[in-house]
Amino acid sequence: MTDERAREAVRGINDEATPGGDPYTDYDDFSLPAYVGLATFQKLPWVTDAAALAAERPDVAIVGAPFDDAVSHRPGARSGPRAIRQASYHAGAINSLQLGIEPYDWLNVVDAGDAPVTPMNIERAHAVIERKVREVAQSGAVPIVLGGDHSITYPSASAVASVVAPRRLGIVHFDAHADAANSTWGALRSHGTPMRRLIESGAVAGRNFVQIGLRGYWPGPDTLEWMRDQGMRWHLMSEIEERGAEAVINDAIAQALDGPEVIYLSVDIDVIDPGMAPGTGTPEPGGMLTRELLRAVRQVVGSVELAGMDVVEVSPPFDQAEVTAAAAHRCVLEAISALAAKRRAAGGSPITHLGSSTDSSAGG
């Protein structure tokens, strides 16, 4: 699939395009069913090379971080990026009913592939993830990173913070867990510690690190005291139950932007109730509804300047019927659609697709 062919096909919803003459060539890869061909995210062009990204200057780029050597309980998130990429029944083009927009008519989105991770070496994996995310962000694209365990937020958000500097980064973090421990059984790089590392390193100020959905029985009082000392702010799941998600998230956005100009959004899929998202490493009962989280992603992305995002902790071996991977996939689509709606609202122009016509059925 070349970039030109993918762009030609973007116009129109693919499965509504009328076949032409030759069944062998009627549809290009972008327009063929989701299960046919390469499983790039939403069949988007696969542009992995830093030079190609710099030349392409996409608006958004998907990045895989297939790494789970830093989990404390049940593993499997290394297979998350691949599972999320294929958790869709749509061919490439999509139309957001929620936002009334065909996002790929407004944004140039590519799949930048995976960071070149190998197992059994956390420092090496984090280093290559940081470099990959930095390359994507330096191209001008908003990186949307598919985890991977939550430890990858440390290199990923660090890379984004370094690229946006001197502008400051706030972080909005959905999770059942605070992930701000000092160590996990002595390991400083773990999926329980990335938020502390980000604050200690200065990538983000504690007071602009805002967490939503915390619940259950971890962390302990010492870590909570450290979090308070940093000025971190968090909104328990019980607050969402009492006040509703929309009001809580409005407060969280204001707190994260109290100083910074741009936002990194980190979504641990375990913020969703494990009854709706069982495929994750540390499931904690009593979480958000999937529909609440998707609405929350639209709310956050629609009202901030998004510099980067990740969706982490999808563990396909523990999933059922791909329900967790699908939720993660839709978190990404909601973010892309909200970015597109912002582009349109700001008076932007639709992308002129090569070979496109005004006939919306001309896809393929």
Give residues in contact with Mn ion (CB under 5 A).
175-177, 268, 270
Q: Token digits for 210?
A: 């805002």
**Residue 89 beta carbon to Mn ion: minimum distance, rounded to whole angstroms:** 27
φ, ψ for residue 347, nearest 5 deg: 90, 20
Q: Token digits for 359?
A: 């006939």
**Residue 13 beta carbon to Mn ion: minimum distance, rounded to whole angstroms:** 35
- 186 Cβ contact partners less than 8 Å away, ≥ 6 residues apart: none
CB 284 within 8 Å of CB 270: yes
- 160 Cβ contact partners less than 8 Å away, ≥ 6 residues apart: 133, 137, 143, 169, 264, 307, 308
Q: Token digits for 107?
A: 């944004």
102/268 with CB nearer Mn ion = 268
CB 34 within 8 Å of CB 90: yes
61/271 with CB nearer Mn ion = 271
**Residue 138 beta carbon to Mn ion: minimum distance, rounded to whole angstroms:** 29
- Using CB positions, name the residue nearest to Mn ion: 177
**Residue 150 beta carbon to Mn ion: minimum distance, rounded to whole angstroms:** 6
8/268 with CB nearer Mn ion = 268
104/154 with CB nearer Mn ion = 154
Round to whole Å and give the CA distance between 249 and 24: 49
Give the CA distances from residue 274 to residues 279, 282, 283, 318, 323, in Å, rounded to whole numbers and listed in that order: 8, 9, 6, 11, 10
111/270 with CB nearer Mn ion = 270
**Residue 117 beta carbon to Mn ion: minimum distance, rounded to whole angstroms:** 20
Give the CA distances from residue 235 to residues 8, 157, 211, 243, in Å, rounded to whole numbers and listed in that order: 45, 21, 6, 11
**Residue 313 beta carbon to Mn ion: minimum distance, rounded to whole angstroms:** 6
110/176 with CB nearer Mn ion = 176
Round to whole Å and give the CA distance between 256 and 149: 23
**Residue 330 beta carbon to Mn ion: minimum distance, rounded to whole angstroms:** 19
Instruction: Tell me which residue of 101, 154, 104 sits closest to 310, measured CA to CA.
Output: 154
**Residue 217 beta carbon to Mn ion: minimum distance, rounded to whole angstroms:** 13
28/268 with CB nearer Mn ion = 268
Round to whole Å and give the CA distance between 249 and 142: 22
69/175 with CB nearer Mn ion = 175
Round to whole Å and give the CA distance between 157 and 152: 8
